[in-house]
Structure 1
Amino acid sequence: MEANIWMTELRAILRGAAGSFLFGVPLLYTLEIWSIGSSTEAPLLLIVLGTTFIIVLLLTQIEGFRRTLQLRPLEAVLESIEALGIGMICALLALVLLRRITLVTPMTEALGKLVFESVPFSLGVTLARSTLTRPNRNRRRVSLPQRFTSPTLISLRDTLIDIDATLIGAILIAFSIAPTEEIQLIASALPPLWLLLIVAASLLLSYSIVFASGFTDRSERQQRGLLLSPLSETLVTYLVVLLASMLMLIFFQQLNFQEPWQEWLGDTLVLGLPASVGGAAGRLLI
């Protein structure tokens, strides 16, 4: 019984974190936010943090990141505090991952970046359930004629639907980020081995959003398509996301064939992080 309670709580936190990254990642790749956070004085940071909490509290009254919520004032306040905390932790992890905050970053600069980046991350926590809850699949599936309903064709169809949804989600999130200079700024500041952390974070976020957060029925997804397992689906769709990221960078002329392969790899993996979040969200909503 106690284990079930802890598992339910963990899934609620993962749902909140999933929404946090979905909302927060686009602004994470914004030079202006880094600059504003670095130069803002402490009193204004407190005002920003307080305003964020009030907005989160108002959203919690009608939404919340848990599946059930008793709208008593104290519970709403406690859940809002938790949502703000999850948002700030996710924002901090993302800033450290992209090396916008390092051990040599001044405390005031790090705190400023964290407070401003935590605004969309915290709002994403509160809106996670309404944003990432999958609609009724039965209304969205196209029925095949009876003579074409062999298991192989159905599996192939479901696999293609997953890949299409991954591409659509990746493009929706990453398309506006791809033409910006922030991709190259971030990639150029990352040591080669740090790129492995970017890959691991992208895979972990994709897996957590689709399989660990409780937004979808894991046993149902394992019976769909040709990808067969959470691990294989996560790996294959990540390759799809990386291909889409590279094509978006080429489309916006951020990469050309005169660039060294290290720059191709770094820029693609850095853009692949938000694209992975978008691709996972896309698969949830089909």
Structure 2
Amino acid sequence: MTMKRARKHKPEKIWLKECDDLIRGAAGGFLFGIPLLYTMEVWWIGSFTEPPVMLAAIAATFVVVFLLNRTEGFRKTKDIRQSEAVMDTIEAIAIGIVCATCILVLLREITLDTSLGEALGKVIFESVPFALGVALARSLLSGDRYQSSNSQDNPSSANETTINATFTDIGATLIGATLIAFNIAPTDEVSMLAAASSPPWLLAIMVASVLISYGIVFQAGFTNQQQRMQQQGIFQRPLSETVFSYLVSILASALMLWFFQQLSFDDPWQMWLSYTLILGLPATVGGAAGRLVA
């Protein structure tokens, strides 16, 4: 009976590990590739790229990602054979293509009216940094998902610890959001993307921002996630922390847009909302990265 149970749960553990690896790879792709998605020059280059150049870009990406997988990779395993590195490279490029395509669709840079050649060009060029991020996922921020913390909080200083942890998370979120979104806020890409987004798509961007943030911090296995879940703080539960940090990132986005005079107090609230949600996606990714290193 015991042997049957072991056999039954072994495939489940394999699939769970594979899901962890995929989430870690996607999270690394978002951390590395999200800023380039807000660059109109890359959209234009992809729109007019000929098929031979696309194939050359894929080939060059394959070589670089293969070399990275031989030394780093997005899996926890360090000893990788050449055949496994090839398979991981194909998987990393596929993850990058899927992630880039989803975000380009969310940002309305790929629609049903977009030609196949233009869509392929945009996806291929935008997926390059995503694929590199997937290959660098393990080295970006390392950790063990199932490792637990042995430290215990002193009951006499519980309130102080809670307040300090909360302010630490707020500060880390603001720093990370600013580092990623500060170079995007003054550009014309934000206004262009906001003009092309309708309320349902803005809602989808909000949901995607929260899910990506949650995946980076609590599912990707970059740091000691068990310790992260046990950390003290007013909003220190995975869901509440993710939502609260998203609101902080949104606030940081609005302040950056106002600072660079992309928004003013005379603008309608709908404009504030659309601009802020558009910039909130990279800001949230940066905020999640900031909380990881806090």
**TM tier, shorter chain?**
over 0.9
Aligned to 1:254: 262
What fraction of aligned residue pairs are identical, expressed as a percent?
56
* Distance apart, 1:213 and its partner CA: 1.4
Pick aligned residue for 1:56 from 58, 65, 87: 65
| C-alpha contact (below 8 Å) 1:134/1:284 kept by paired residues | no
The answer for unaligned runs of 5 or more in structure 2 is 1-9, 145-153
- Once residues 181 and 149 of structure 1 are traced to their aligned partners in structure 2, the CA distance between those partners, rounded to angstroms, is 52
Q: Which runs of 5+ in 1 are unaligned?
A: 136-146
Q: Return the letter of the residue paired with 1:6.
A: W
**CA distance in 2: counterparts of 1:184 and 1:149, whole angstroms:** 50
The residue type paired with residue 265 of structure 1 is L
Name the CA distance, whole Å, in 2 between partners of 1:230 and 1:19: 19
Q: How many residues in Structure 1 have an aligned counterpart in Structure 2? A: 276
C-alpha distance in structure 1 between counterparts of 2:257 and 2:78, whole Å: 43
Cα distance in 1, alignment partners of residues 219 and 77 from structure 2 = 18
Aligned to 2:188: 181
Report the AA paired with residue 165 of structure 1: A
SS in 2 for 1:195: helix
The reply on whether 1:191 has 2:198 as its aligned counterpart is yes
Aligned CA-pair RMSD: 1.7
Question: 2:137 matched to 1:128?
Answer: yes
TM-score of the two chains, using structure 2 as the length reference: 0.91
- For 2:61 and 2:220, locate their aligned partners in 1 and report how far apart those are by CA, in whole Å: 24
Partner amino acid for 1:192? Answer: P
Q: Distance in 2 between matches of 1:284 and 1:99?
A: 30
Partner of 1:72: 81
Name the counterpart of 1:155: 162
- Residue 20 of structure 1 corresponds to 29
Give the aligned residue type for 1:234.
T
Q: 1:249 to 1:134 in 2, by over 3 A?
A: farther
The one-letter amino acid paired with 2:158 is P
Q: What amino acid is the match of 2:65?
A: V
Q: Paired residue for 1:266?
A: 274
Distance 2:225 2:32 in 1: 24
How far 1:71 sits from its partner (Å)? 2.6
**SS at 2:199 equivalent:** coil
CA distance in 2, matches of 1:198, 1:255: 20
Runs of 4+ with deviation above 6 angstroms: none
Of 235, 238, 255 in structure 2, the residue corresponding to residue 227 of structure 1 is: 235
Partner Cα distance (1:151, 1:77) in 2: 50
Taking the aligned partners of 2:279 and 2:236, their CA distance within structure 1 comes to 27
Residue number in structure 2 paired with 1:281? 289
Letter paired with 1:244? A
- The CA deviation at 1:148 is 11
Equivalence for 1:4: 13
Once the two structures are superposed, residues 66-119 of structure 1 have per-residue CA deviations (whole angstroms, 9 ceiling, x without a partner) of 111333111111111111111111111111110100111000000000110011
Distance across 1 between alignment mates of 2:81 and 2:277: 44
Letter of the 1:221 counterpart: R
Q: Deviations over 1:116-163 (max 9, x none)?
A: 00110100001111112269xxxxxxxxxxx99611101111111111
Correspondence for 1:245 = 253
1:279 to partner: Cα distance: 0.5
Aligned 8 A contact 1:53 1:80 in 2: yes
